[in-house]
Amino acid sequence: MATQALDQDLENLAASARAELVREIDASGAWSADPVWREAFEAVPRHLFVPYYYIGVRGGYERRWCGDPDPERREQWLRGAYTDTPLATRVRDGELVSSSSQPSLMAEMLTELGVEDGNAVLEIGAGTGYNAALLAHRLGDDRVTTIDLDPEITESARQHLAAAGYHPAVVTGDGARGVPERAPFDRVIATCSLSSIPGAWLAQCVPGARILTPFATGLIALRVRDAGHAEGRFLRTPAFFVPLRGGTRAEPEPRDLGGLPQRARGNDRFRFLLALTRGRLDPYEAYTLWEREEQPGRERYGITVGGDRVWAWLDDPEGPYAWPLP
């Protein structure tokens, strides 16, 4: 009876913590353009998707989990599951390989995805399954597909989803190749960072589809014209995600920036430009451009996929500032 009472106390705490998280996201304005997402975040219990996670401590990570024998630590785990922060969910050899994204950022991304009733959505990066559950709550299980390269991740995501009452398609494979057997898709959303735009995604989309993916510490929203063409701009929002494992690889950040002014080296907008043009524009040339153009923010940049060419640009895809992408 004592254990059952404790379990009920935790369930009550989960409900109140989830309501508080929803109020916090509400106040941020993340879903102001599509408040239907509020209902999904109210309904889907995040704690079922993070039965354990890791918090950074001196010298590494500390594990918090639902089965901790200490009641106070179990309560810490539960409260942490409903904080508006990303949660590290898989660590290997001291390196983060998977996480549950910050809920307010997830809400913003889902809103920007612009889903409509009846849309078929492909999610790249299954993670814990939480994002797929939010999509399934909105659209229905049969309209949602999520893929990840790691079979351990997909299996745990499948279990988490089932525990919460959702059963979208969970596929193990290279997300850069999409899921052709489930195509065509109206929307594609990635929860991992890329260094290029996979052509397979465009080929598996219907004309007019929308792709939203992290790219170079930002979020690019592309409108698909056809299997070989897409174009769009970055959102204002910074975004830092674990890189996609499989078909595309992030390039190393340039290290020799000592000759640049500190105000540039420590500036998020300049670091974004470096990430976007990495290996294709000298950092000192990038600094000159950045100053000349009055330190542009992410929303002034875009990406175009045109046939066999892919390029990033500032202000205008046919303008003077453009850089080829892989």
Catalytic residues: 98
Structure tokens at 257: 């920036």
Q: Which amino acid is at 7?
A: D
Q: CA separation (Å) from 51 to 68, 100, 152, 173, 206? A: 10, 11, 15, 24, 37
Find the helix packing angle between 36-43 and 2-28, rounded to 10°.
160
**What distance in Å separates the CA atoms of residue 240 and residue 95, rounded to the nearest whole number?**
15
Are 324 and 297 contacting, i.e. CB atoms less than 8 angstroms apart?
no
Query: In terms of Cα–Cα distance, which of 318, 315, 302, 120 is closest to 222?
Result: 302
**What distance in Å separates the CA atoms of residue 121 and residue 154, rounded to the nearest whole number?**
17
